[in-house]
C-alpha cells in the first residue's frame, strides 16, 4: 500500500516538474485568467490532475512547507471551483513555485 502511494506521489512530482520546465521555456501561459500575469510571467501553471490525485496532495507538493490550506484556497479561487473535489483529467491552474 505504501509503495503504491509513493509511486503516485513520485509520478505526480515528475508530472509537475515537467510542467514547470515547459512553462519556464514560455514567457507566459495563455489562460482565461489573463489578469493573473505579473510583469509578463504567469504566477500560475496549468496541470492535469492524474488518477488518484486530490487537491490536498497537489497542494501539499506545491506548498513548500507553507500552508497547504492556503494553497488549496488559492487553487479553488483561481479555477472558480465550487468545491475542493477534483477528478482525473481535469485541467487546473496551480501556483508556480
What are the pLDDT digits (tens) for 8-24? 777 776 667 656 545 55
- Say how many CA atoms lie within 13 Å of 41 toward its Cβ: 8
Domain boundaries, the chain: 2-95
Could you report the per-residue pLDDT of 27-48, keeping only the tens digit for each? Answer: 333 444 444 444 455 689 999 9
Mean pLDDT of the chain, nearest integer: 76
In whole angstroms, give the CA distance from residue 18 to residue 78. Answer: 21
Cα separation, 90 vs 46, in Å, equals 10
pTM of the predicted structure, to 2 decimals:
0.57
- The domain defined by 2-95 folds into Membrane-bound Lytic Murein Transglycosylase D; Chain A (3.10.350)
Amino acid at each position: 500500500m505504501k509503495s503504491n502511494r509513493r509511486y503516485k506521489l513520485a509520478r505526480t512530482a515528475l508530472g509537475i516538474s515537467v510542467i514547470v520546465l515547459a512553462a519556464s521555456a514560455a514567457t507566459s501561459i495563455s489562460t482565461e485568467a489573463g489578469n493573473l500575469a505579473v510583469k509578463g510571467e504567469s504566477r500560475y501553471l496549468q496541470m492535469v490532475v492524474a488518477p488518484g490525485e486530490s487537491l490536498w496532495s497537489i497542494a501539499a507538493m506545491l506548498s513548500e512547507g507553507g500552508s497547504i490550506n492556503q494553497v488549496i484556497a488559492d487553487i479553488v479561487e483561481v479555477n472558480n471551483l465550487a468545491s475542493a473535489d477534483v477528478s482525473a483529467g481535469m485541467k487546473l491552474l496551480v501556483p508556480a513555485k
